[in-house]
Amino acid sequence: MKSKLTLSLPEKTIQEAKQIARQRHTTVSALFAESLAHWHLHRESSAPHPTSEPDEMADLLGVLSPKPSFDTRSSRIREKHG
């Protein structure tokens, strides 16, 4: 049985989630479910992260790939185009 869940997130986070979902030809709900499944799979097998975050949050860190920094992108462009 499916149920609805309402999350309060920054607008930027919502837009990024929608963009990632579009790129993967899926929905934000499916993306969220996939992230939770990934977290659950790696929860017991991963070593604790050395952060001050609660264990549940530390396990979620790094689930989605961050955008490369501007410097990384600009250096790639310079390598490609001189």
Q: Can you give the pLDDT of all 82 residues of the chain as single tens digits?
A: 888 888 899 999 999 999 999 998 999 999 988 888 888 777 766 655 555 555 566 666 655 555 555 666 677 777 777 6
List the domain boundaries for the chain.
11-81
For 9, 19, 65, 66, 67, the CA distances from 75, given in Å and listed in that order, are 32, 24, 19, 17, 14
Report the distance separating Cα 66 and Cα 44, nearest Å. 23
| Phi (first) and psi of residue 2, to 5 degrees | -95, 145
Report the distance separating Cα 30 and Cα 35, nearest Å. 9
